Structure 1
Amino acid sequence: MAPADASPRVFAEASLSPNTIRAYRSDLRQFARWRAGFLEHEISEPHELEQISTAPVDPAEVAALLADKANAVLPDGGQRYAPSTISRYVAAIDWEHARRGHTPPGATPIVRDVLKGIRRTRSVPVRRAKPMTLKALQTTLLKIDVADLQTGALGTRDQALLLFRFVGAFRESKLTALTVADLRLVDGEGVYARVRKSKTDQDGAGRINVLQQGANPVTCAPCAYVRLSRLMAA
């Protein structure tokens, strides 16, 4: 939450998530390293970048940065930077320009065309992990020890987390942000989980995920919640 005497800049930065701002600042440091002439493997000290400006810069220089990143390779010959990462460099540089009152380079034809060309020529298929099946989930849940006095509490918690993520299709960030106050057991329906903010709800309007009761107690998320609640109360 912003302080009572927050400046316009504080409110402007609050328009983005803290993770986005951290990523942008990291990208801007990499841009400063590139402008200072550091190679990928070279270590730079903070004081060596203090005088390196990242805004305003010539759009042609930004285009050259993008080309260098697109051509960078790993020791095994693979691409060091994905097109999505290179696009984020542009977003970070545009953010820095806009907040300093300069025209974002990403709006210029040269940067747009170079970025479009990188996406067309450097894109690779996304390798996605296979989703967990219900059978695999059951096997995993049954292997968690909930009988041992020392590890039983953690095991009960882990079972609930696994079931919440599987049944509610929670992102990791949403799952870890849940608190006990966000959960409510409704007889005959299941658990109502209030998601205060998510990647698709940056304004924090919030929404309710309903974790419905299941026929099998092993894979029933509300059942796991009840077991965890009773353990916490005890």
Structure 2
Amino acid sequence: MKGAAVNEAEQKGLMLKHAGGSLITPEEVEGRLAEYAQQARGAFSDNTVRAWRNDNRLFSSWCVSHGHHALPASGETVAAFVDAMAMSHAPASIRRYIASISAMHKAAGFDNPCAAQEVKLAVKRLNREKGTRQRQASPINRPVFDRLIEQGDNGQFRDARDVAMLAISYDTLCRRSELVAINVEDIEEVGDGSGTVLIRRSKTDQEGAGAVRYLAPDSMRTLKEWLALAKITEGAVFRGVDNANRLNKRLSAQGVARAFKRLADRAGVDAAQISGHSCRVGAAQDMVNVGLGLPDVMQAGGWKTPAMVARYTERQAAQRGAARKLATLQNRE
């Protein structure tokens, strides 16, 4: 799909300056993008490609409406875009937009405008105004988990799927994309009633080395009940369910959040901040609460670095930290 700036350049008969300094036509730009798309096919996740496409569409539309060129864009243009987006978009989203704009320019063979000083200063303004702290999904820890499970224990077809999904999400700390990618063939039951599941690919494992996660006996029972009820013997474990209780194709990642929010709403839990990652956050917090160390939590959730685990569990860490120990020694109640 042609970018708005390339279309505009074609209409005006413009030549575009390539990163090497030579002038190229809009048609050549389209050829470069098409060639890159072919070379990169399968190298990036669907979510990454979707984000690049949507983010660059947003940037191109903004450029057209404000009289700027999107491809190639100048540092001043990207900086102005960042300032404009700061009025209504989350900092994390804007940082992703910048990465997508950078990727598009590199793919087309243009200089990266996002490396310009103007853009770096715009990001600094953004961070100073809104901060770098990201909003965290509300945790589904064990007490909340139990309340949600009760709401799904009513024999309804879709609820059986949602409860199984909740149980597997809590045990494995799966990201939502990992959860919906699980197939029947990835699950293995062992003698004591527990089981394991192979997570074939993840955000931090794009090349598919895979990782095995544990499933507790109660989670295995819940999962087997869903599979038996739905008569699923192969392929996708979690699938869409229509109003007539008919199975559809594999559930989307967005469907995980909808399912968890539906259970939360019934349980009287504020569903606004419940997301497809809420079990991941809650289980990590529960692990820290029972004294498990950072390496154990990282292994359980497939984290490569401790930063996000520390972010998820910072309140639990504060309750176990030096200030708490000092207050206890001083008998401060």
State the match for 2:76 in structure 1: 60
State the match for 1:28 in structure 2: 56
Contact 1:195/1:208 (8 A) holds in 2:
yes
CA 1:207/1:130 → structure 2, altered by over 3 Å: closer, same or farther? same
Cα distance in 2 for partners of 1:202, 1:84 equals 21
Deviation of 1:113 after TM superposition, in Å, equals 2.4
**Which SS does the other structure have where 2:40 is aligned?**
helix
- Higher alpha-carbon deviation: 93-102 or 196-205: 196-205
State the match for 2:94 in structure 1: 86
State the match for 1:110 in structure 2: 118
State the match for 1:17 in structure 2: 45
Structure 1: unaligned runs, 5 residues or longer: 1-6, 40-51, 73-79, 214-219
Deviation of 1:81 after TM superposition, in Å, equals 1.0
* TM-score normalised by the chain length of structure 2: 0.53
CA deviations over 1:28-51 (Å, ceiling 9, x no partner): 122222222269xxxxxxxxxxxx
Cα distance in 1 for partners of 2:173, 2:192 equals 21
Cα RMSD of the aligned pairs, angstroms, is 2.8
State the match for 1:45 in structure 2: none
Contact 2:171/2:214 (8 A) holds in 1:
no
2:138 to 130, 135, 145: 130
Cα distance in 2 for partners of 1:228, 1:35 equals 49
Cα distance in 2 for partners of 1:8, 1:118 equals 32
Cα distance in 1 for partners of 2:93, 2:153 equals 41
Q: Which amino acid aligns with 1:11?
A: Q
State the match for 1:49 in structure 2: none
- Higher alpha-carbon deviation: 13-22 or 94-103: 13-22
State the match for 1:157 in structure 2: 161
Cα distance in 2 for partners of 1:120, 1:13 equals 38
Identity %: 28
**Which SS does the other structure have where 1:131 is aligned?**
coil
State the match for 1:209 in structure 2: 213
**Which SS does the other structure have where 1:192 is aligned?**
strand
* TM-score normalised by the chain length of structure 1: 0.73
Deviation of 1:8 after TM superposition, in Å, equals 5.7
Q: Which amino acid aligns with 1:122?
A: K
Is it true that 1:221 corresponds to 2:193 in the alignment? Answer: no
CA deviations over 1:172-209 (Å, ceiling 9, x no partner): 22111111111111113721111111112122221111
CA 1:160/1:10 → structure 2, altered by over 3 Å: closer, same or farther? same
CA 1:82/1:233 → structure 2, altered by over 3 Å: closer, same or farther? closer
Would you say how many aligned residue pairs link Structure 1 and Structure 2?
199
Higher relative contact order (CA 8 A, sep 6+): 2
Cα distance in 2 for partners of 1:139, 1:37 equals 49
Cα distance in 2 for partners of 1:23, 1:87 equals 12
Structure 2: unaligned runs, 5 residues or longer: 1-34, 234-333
